[in-house]
Structures are given as structure tokens and as C-alpha cells.
Chain A
Amino acid sequence: MPAYTRTLLTVICEAALEKKLLADLEALGASGWTLSDARGRGSRGVRSAGWDTDGNIRLEVICARDLAERLAEHLQDHYYTNYAMVCYLAEVEVLRPEKF
């Protein structure tokens, strides 16, 4: 089975940022993503998602390495100082490279 390497960018952040992030992804040229709700704990305390403003999202994008790096850099520049946000990159193998 042939497999192709792509980069998975995962972003976990405040739900308040959802609309902004999706607009950024669109503008920077990501063609697809997956969004889900999340709960957890980090340097900004427990984020229990018990209340609207306390909600968190987990955003996953599979794309080429250079786009993933551009996205990560953009997030770091714009949101890291003031928002609860974590993002990380990982190599993943995909079966249909033309999709990503």
C-alpha cells in the first residue's frame, strides 16, 4: 500500500476564536479542516467548557509541510499572547495525496 507523507497541524484554543481562525485558514490557503469541541487543562487553568466563554475547540488541518508552518507562524504571531492556545505539528501518512 503506497503512503504519502503530509503534515497534521492541530490547534487547541478558545472557542471564541473559531470564526477568526476559519477565516485565517481560508485566507492562507488551507483547503480543508476538522473541528471538534474540547475540554482540558493547561497553563491558563482548567478550561471546562461549562460555559459559552469557557469553551474550547480542537482544529485539525492536514496539508503540505510549508503551509502547516505558515499557519503555525501566523497563529503564534496573532494569538499566542492573549489567548489560550496550543498548536503542534506531526508527520502523518495519507493514502490520497491529491486531497491534501
Chain B
Amino acid sequence: MGLDPVVLFFVFGLFAGLVKSELKLPPALYETLSIILLLAIGLHGGVELAEQASLQLLGQSGLVLGLGVLLPLVAFTLLRGLRFDRVNAAAVAAHYGSVSAGTFAVVVAFLLAKGIAFESYMPLFVAILEIPAILVGILLAKGISRDTHWKELGREIFLGKSIMLLLGGLVIGAIAGKEAIKPLEPLYTSMFKPVLAFFLLEMGLIASGQLASLKRYGFKLALFALLMPLLGALIGALLARAMGLSLGGTAMLATLAASASYIAVPAAMRLAVPEANPSLSLTASLGITFPFNILVGIPLYLALAETLIAWGL
């Protein structure tokens, strides 16, 4: 199988950035594209969710919340083992416990292209996974300290851009139902891939900028940024098997667990833990982990899901 063209757009963006080309997309475009992607994913999930909401889903959501607490702890331990100081280890761990909605959009497109079905309520898990890691990260960095403005921070976390868009889409989809949403369906079908392609072009440009600062932080950070997604994917996939998700759902939860945040968490951590070096986290999550997941990770996590199922797990 040849490379998916959307992935080639990402590679193109990386290349253009690395050779310091004049190519630049206006910042407003990136914002627009990510809004369309998140709303489309949310809407589609909402329509399906309305048709199969169940008590089981509530239990699964609880487990996913647990995954969101566990992942930053694993990342923190790994980072401390690599001798990062506590504050920076905690900040980076928060990024890796949370998820990247961009990576999620790519795995959605990947599974759709392969014709592999997945649980339609996955967008709900994306929203759930965004939150706990930020709190765990702050606690790891500072303990329960009085100078954390929890109220302000709560607003930042729970009313963050991607959570609002995903949940907004889910609710609109659920209320409107399948028939009424039909005119909007192209968002998820014929429009999804073109939008994703442009989005990934911009992500490639941004990632290349982060990659340039890798020299400053060196080998240890790169090692972590490659090890952690693999470890996260394994944990995510095992949990998905325990939850009884389908093949597509397992690959997806593995991908979510492997991905690292680069929007919601950096903004929250900058305010809550200003002592931490923000470019350390961004270099790792945007410069290394995101490209790794897009280029290598997602097919690998699907293979992992297939293997686990073949083993009867």
C-alpha cells in the first residue's frame, strides 16, 4: 500500500519547514481547519451516540478517565528515570497523559480508508482524556499548593477549545439525529480528508520548527518522546481489550494513549506551572511524537491491536 496522501501532505510540510522555505499558512487558517475537523468528528460521533447510549458506556468512560490519570504517572516516572528535574518532568508528563485531537483526526481517516469499523463514541473519550493529565501534572509539579488558582485553571481546562468543539458537536449531533444531520454529513465524508490534508500541511510546518530546537535538549528528550508513545499505546490497547472494544476501537484508544497534547496542555501548564520550560514539552510532543505517530505509529498500533486480538486478549 502506498502512503496515504494526507500523510504525504504532512511530509511535504515537514520538508518545506526544514529547508526554511517561504511557505507559510496564515495562522487563522490552521485555526479554521482544526475547528472544522473537531466539529465534524463530534457531530458524527453524536449522531451514533444517540442511537447506542448505554450504561456500559458510562463504565467505559470511567476506565478511560483512569487511563488519563495513569498515563502522566507513567510518563513522569520515565522522565525522572532519565534525570529530568521534577517540575519539567511533571509538565512534560501532563502533555503525554493528555491527547492530541489532530492525531485522532488522522487515525479516524486512516481507519475509514481501510474500512475498519470503530466505536462511534470515541470522540467522547478524546474529551475525557484531555482533562485528568493536566491536574495530575500540576499536582506532580507543586503538590496541593495554595498559589494555584484552581477556579481560573478549571475554566481553562474544562472550557478549552477542543473540548468545547468536540462536546458541542457531540451534543448537536445527538439532538439533531441522523436524518436532520444529513445536509452536514459532507463535513465528515467528502470534506474530511481535504481539510485534514491542509491541516497536516500546517502541522508539518509547525513540527519542523519545533524539530529545530531539538539540538538544544538532546538525546534524552528524543528517547522519551519515542519510548512514551509506544508504552502508552501498549497500555491503551490492553485497556481497550479489557473493555471489549472492537479492532478499530482498540487501535484508536492505543493511538490516543500514544499521542501527546500540544494545544490545551501547554496553555494550562504555562499558567499553572510557569517555572517549567515550555519549549521542552512542545519540542517533544510536536517535534517528535506527533510526526512519529503520523508516519509510523498509527499503522503500528493497528498491527498491535490485530496481534492482541489474535492472541485472544
Contact = CB atoms under 8 A, between A and B. Distances in A.
A48 B282 CA distance: 15
A51 interface: yes
A16 B275 contact: no
Contacts of B206: 50-51
A98 to B, nearest CB: 34
A52 B266 contact: yes
A20 interface: yes
Contacts of A34: none
A43 interface: no
A53 B278 contact: yes
Contacts of A51: 206, 209, 282, 286
A16 B209 contact: no
Contacts of A48: 209
> Could you tell me the dominant secondary structure of chain B's interface residues?
helix
Contacts of A53: 266-267, 270, 278, 282
B263 A16 contact: no
Interface in B255-288: 263, 266-267, 270-271, 274-275, 278, 282, 286
A88 interface: no
Contacts of A33: none
A83 interface: yes
Contacts of B152: 19-20
B33 to A, nearest CB: 14
A20 B275 contact: no
Contacts of B267: 16, 52-53
A83 B274 contact: yes
A14 B270 contact: yes
Given A50-B209, A51-B209, A82 B274 contact: yes
Interface of A: 14, 16-17, 19-20, 48-53, 82-83
Given A20-B152, A49-B27, A50-B206, 7 more contacts: A19-B152, A48-B209, A52-B267, A53-B266, A53-B267, A53-B278, A82-B274
22 contacts: A14-B270, A16-B270, A16-B271, A17-B271, A19-B152, A20-B152, A20-B271, A49-B27, A50-B206, A50-B209, A51-B209, A51-B282, A51-B286, A52-B263, A52-B266, A52-B267, A53-B266, A53-B270, A53-B278, A53-B282, A82-B274, A83-B274
